[in-house]
Structure 1
Amino acid sequence: MQLSMPRFDSARVLIVGDVMLDRYWMGETTRISPEAPVPAVRVAATEDRPGGAANVALNVAALGGAASLIGLVGRDEPGEALAGQLEAAGVACRLIGVEKERTIVKLRVIARNQQLIRLDLEDRFADVHAPAIAGALGDALDSASVVILSDYGKGTLSDIQALITAARAKGCSVLVDPKGVDFERYRGASLLKPNLAEFEAVVGHCGSEQVLLEKARALVEQLELGALLVTRGKSGMTLLRRGEAPVHFPTQAREVYDVTGAGDTVISTIGAALGAGEDLVAAVGLSNVAAGIAVGKLGTAAVSGPELRRAISAQREHDRGAVSEEQLVAAIADAKAAGERIVFTNGCFDILHAGHVGYLEQARALGDRLVVAINSDASVKRLKGPSRPVNTLDRRMVVLSALESVDWVVAFEDDTPTPLIEKVRPDILVKGGDYSLDQVVGGEIVRAYGGEVRVLSHLDNCSTTAIVEAIRGRSGRQD
């Protein structure tokens, strides 16, 4: 999938949910406690980070979006620490302090970059606070275009259906990160994002891809959801939308270091991207990249805008260029799984000129990815004569790969690209020049499976043969 960096500074995202403080005690362990067979940790440093819905808000702000947060905290030191960190990060907080209840704290003890134990200092907030949450939501909706409901089952979203209804009535997209097995309470959400374990806890075990998709579609219809995104760990993510083909996103993680907060990263990136004007598929694609960054960090950590921009740039560089036939087939499969339309063209491209550049730009505009199949040197000689090509295959591939309009360049040995077209099965087959549709090689194959064949014109007075003849003529006059 071709991703670009959205204008996150235009996103206005309201986050409502269970906020918590992730507290870390870090040190070294060199011995076993004499009191019990457990490591003894000498704590050398402590660190506090916003967690839960607060981490979602922090992620939106780190991307550059305008994040507002509503949640419940106790009137205590952890609540004050949480509010201070969020406000320092630019999050507009409305944390409702309640008497005789405590801020949720997750205390993790870390030694040698390994989590030894987690201590949960928490109680579920009472349902009596639901009207205060609903009132705060109503006051904040006018300044938001996307609402994220981050449910950790701690009581803040005890009347979540009322919040979904109110937000949808204001025209906001409502994204829900669910908890528990009662998904009925999320009815009518624009997007529901369970992980695979949460999804299977509701619909039952999915023994195959087909079963997963069938149960996902049924859940979308049953709950009147706009879309369902199932995050599947190392198997990536699968997006189901009403009336649309499923879209699968392969995992982006190169090395999984710590999955803490990865789900928060996913939903916050989707929310910020939607708020910045991206469509849902692109927003999920961006969240997939962001999650790959997040799991490479220790503990709860936000993904910043510059980090995501660099990752997108690196992905773009590694996801295009000169490829073998086998690499192309695999890349095409991934692109089609992400819903991208593949455009295919072919030629010798011996001396790249303005006509080629304009033609390839037109071809690329017809779809999401452009494949340029290029004749091998032997194939060019058979077609053009013993004096051609002027430029060898490797040079021609390098030049074509450098064009922004071209995604993949692949060589073929045959006189025609027919065998390659049969393998790639492009959505659109394009040829440039004075051809009729019936003369385009491979056209009958593409039309047979429902693809499209197009003929585009080259710029006038642009021809490789004419350029070669002109060069030879000038060389002769000088001799």
Structure 2
Amino acid sequence: MDLSVFSRLSQVKVLVVGDVMLDRYFIGDSQRISPEAPVPVVKINQTDDKVGGAANVARNIAHLDGQVGLLGIVGQDENGARLTELLKHENIHSELVEQNAKPTITKLRVVSRHQQVVRLDFEETFNLQQATELQAKFEAVLADYQAVIFSDYNKGSLAHISKMIQTAKQAGKIILVDPKQSDLTLYRGATVITPNLGEFKLAGGDATDETSIADSARRLIANAGIDSILLTRSEQGMSAIDANEKIDMPAQVLEVSDVTGAGDTVIATLAVMLTAGLSLADAAKMANFAAGIVVAKLGAATVKPEELAAKFNQQLLTQGTHYQCPFDDVLQHIEFAKQAGEKIVFTNGCFDILHAGHVAYLEKAKALGHRLVLGLNSDDSISRLKGADRPVNPLEQRAIVMTALKSVDWVIPFGEAGDDTPLKLIKSVKPDVLVKGGDYTIETIVGAEFVQQNGGDVVVIDFVDGCSTTNVINKIRG
């Protein structure tokens, strides 16, 4: 996966088109039943307004640092004005069609003790004339964006979606659709659609087993003229399917707090990552990570780039790829960790034969921060420092052992001919804490001056008495 994608998010330009809504929450306590009817009386003490529908998709893009425009239809009413105000606050460039024939779609929820008591919907289906006005504005602004998301809630805004998709396709745009219609031919020309399992079945998909899902999905996209499907499958995760392959991604969260708006997060993240240059498979994996983050939060939450980067880092660490990654990729993972507020600790050594002293030392080093980077001397470097009969274990084997330790997050080899010190590596990593073991003084530690000049700390940790690689080797030799 191209890890530089996180540095390109702010350059992404996505246009979201669809049914925009205002979500209103009236929150209060309820301690009695009304004498007028068998319903609870809720004493309202708090109100909260949020953007909803297609506007929440746009909000997710903005929170991922993408540049986003929003096209939808609102009424010339108080709720429309409030929605416009919220969009400005969320840094969303709104291109809303204002009309006075229909109200702004508004969903009012009365909440007491974290439970919805009732939801009131204020809406009327928009007519063809209003949808035509939206289409005209879409054609006027399309050139300013790289990708388009059509967020269909079946409220009439996207009555001309087929024509708009064809216009976007002819303009070479990436096109994503969150579908609500069972007739997928309406979305002909789309790059990817993101149905949930229920929508997939209504469109003719077969979810009997994995083979049936893949075969029926390919049949649907071939018949509809769509490039691919990202099928969201609740606790079963997601499946990205195109004409050539099906990639399954397990759900990324063990405990779900709230699934509200998770679909919006998925399509927003997918669009941003595709536009930033990732393949469908890699963009889908990022969308899956984002879904795992957002469902662990309450309400229609969003995901920040640093949260996504941290989740991606965590996944790589559990897969044991923190040594085999190219050096530049490892440095980028370290930078993501820093952006997430994690403190980076660095230490180095030969670690030829792992013993109890090493384990205790590394655990103490890790305790000084959040992530531990281990600089590991190369084989040639050890031979120069310790003698021709060392190392006992080659670099590859030493690295495998070290990455198996819970205390070690990344292993990076060093030790070029003529320079057996980790100074160059320390300058690349820029750790918050530099750790060395033994009887060193801070003044004699390589890299100490650099770390301190950059605001970091230097710490000396005592070795465990009687534990050393030399002692182990001598005991083996007898």
Instruction: Report the TM-score, using the length of structure 1 for normalisation.
Output: 0.68
Return closer, same or farther for 1:17/1:355 CA change in 2, 3 Å cut-off.
farther
Partner of 2:365: none
Task: Give deviations 1:332-385, integer Å, cap 9, x for gaps.
Answer: xxxxxxxxxxxxxxxx9858642599xxxxxxxxxxxxxxxxxxxxxxxxxx9x
Distance across 1 between alignment mates of 2:411 and 2:165 = 42
Note the C-alpha offset of 1:38: 2.7
Give the 3-state SS of the residue equivalent to 1:308 in structure 2: helix
Partner of 2:65: 64
Partner of 1:188: 189
Give the 3-state SS of the residue equivalent to 1:217 in structure 2: helix
Q: Spell out the pairing of 1:41-440 with structure 2 (5 A cutoff).
A: 41-203=42-204, 205-242=206-243, 244-320=244-320, 353-355=377-379, 397-398=401-402, 402=408, 404=410
Q: Which runs of 5+ in 1 are unaligned?
A: 323-347, 358-383, 407-470
Give the 3-state SS of the residue equivalent to 2:252 in structure 1: coil
Distance across 2 between alignment mates of 1:276 and 1:35 = 57
Partner of 1:434: none
Distance across 2 between alignment mates of 1:35 and 1:294 = 40
Distance across 2 between alignment mates of 1:395 and 1:404 = 10
Task: Give deviations 1:2-44, integer Å, cap 9, x for gaps.
Answer: 9776221010001111000111111222223333333322211
Give the 3-state SS of the residue equivalent to 1:155 in structure 2: coil
Partner of 2:24: 23
Distance across 2 between alignment mates of 1:405 and 1:196 = 41
Note the C-alpha offset of 1:241: 1.2
Note the C-alpha offset of 1:139: 1.6
Give the 3-state SS of the residue equivalent to 1:90 in structure 2: coil
Note the C-alpha offset of 1:307: 2.8
Partner of 1:409: none
Give the 3-state SS of the residue equivalent to 1:219 in structure 2: helix
Distance across 2 between alignment mates of 1:128 and 1:320 = 57
Distance across 2 between alignment mates of 1:287 and 1:57 = 15
CA contact (8 A) 2:70 2:96 kept: yes
Note the C-alpha offset of 1:130: 2.7
CA contact (8 A) 2:147 2:173 kept: yes
Note the C-alpha offset of 1:321: 7.3
Aligned-residue CA RMSD in angstroms?
A: 3.2
Return closer, same or farther for 1:105/1:356 CA change in 2, 3 Å cut-off.
farther
Distance across 2 between alignment mates of 1:2 and 1:233 = 27
Note the C-alpha offset of 1:111: 1.7
Partner of 1:457: none
CA contact (8 A) 1:24 1:108 kept: yes
Q: Which stretch of structure 1 is more off in the superposition, 200-209 or 270-279? A: 200-209
Return closer, same or farther for 1:157/1:314 CA change in 2, 3 Å cut-off.
same
Q: Which runs of 5+ in 2 are unaligned?
A: 323-350, 355-375, 382-388, 413-469
Give the 3-state SS of the residue equivalent to 1:49 in structure 2: strand
Distance across 2 between alignment mates of 1:148 and 1:291 = 17
Greater RCO structure (CA 8 Å; 6+ sep): 1
Note the C-alpha offset of 1:205: 4.9
CA contact (8 A) 2:379 2:394 kept: no
Q: Which one-letter code corresponds to 1:249 in the other structure?
A: M
Distance across 2 between alignment mates of 1:191 and 1:356 = 51
CA contact (8 A) 2:399 2:411 kept: no
Distance across 2 between alignment mates of 1:78 and 1:90 = 19
Note the C-alpha offset of 1:399: 5.1
Give the 3-state SS of the residue equivalent to 2:10 in structure 1: helix
CA contact (8 A) 2:185 2:225 kept: no
Instruction: Report the TM-score, using the length of structure 2 for normalisation.
Output: 0.68
Distance across 2 between alignment mates of 1:396 and 1:68 = 48
CA contact (8 A) 2:61 2:67 kept: yes
Give the 3-state SS of the residue equivalent to 1:153 in structure 2: coil
Q: Which one-letter code corresponds to 1:155 in the other structure?
A: G
Distance across 2 between alignment mates of 1:319 and 1:2 = 17
Return closer, same or farther for 1:279/1:389 CA change in 2, 3 Å cut-off.
closer
Task: Give deviations 1:99-127, integer Å, cap 9, x for gaps.
Answer: 12100011112222222322211111111
CA contact (8 A) 2:206 2:216 kept: no
CA contact (8 A) 2:5 2:277 kept: no
Distance across 1 between alignment mates of 2:90 and 2:353 = 55
Distance across 1 between alignment mates of 2:174 and 2:400 = 48
CA contact (8 A) 1:3 1:286 kept: no
Q: Which one-letter code corresponds to 1:267 in the other structure?
A: I
Return closer, same or farther for 1:302/1:390 CA change in 2, 3 Å cut-off.
closer
Q: State the identity as a percent.
A: 39
Return closer, same or farther for 1:390/1:301 CA change in 2, 3 Å cut-off.
closer
CA contact (8 A) 1:3 1:282 kept: no
Q: Which one-letter code corresponds to 2:401 in the other structure?
A: M
Partner of 1:342: none
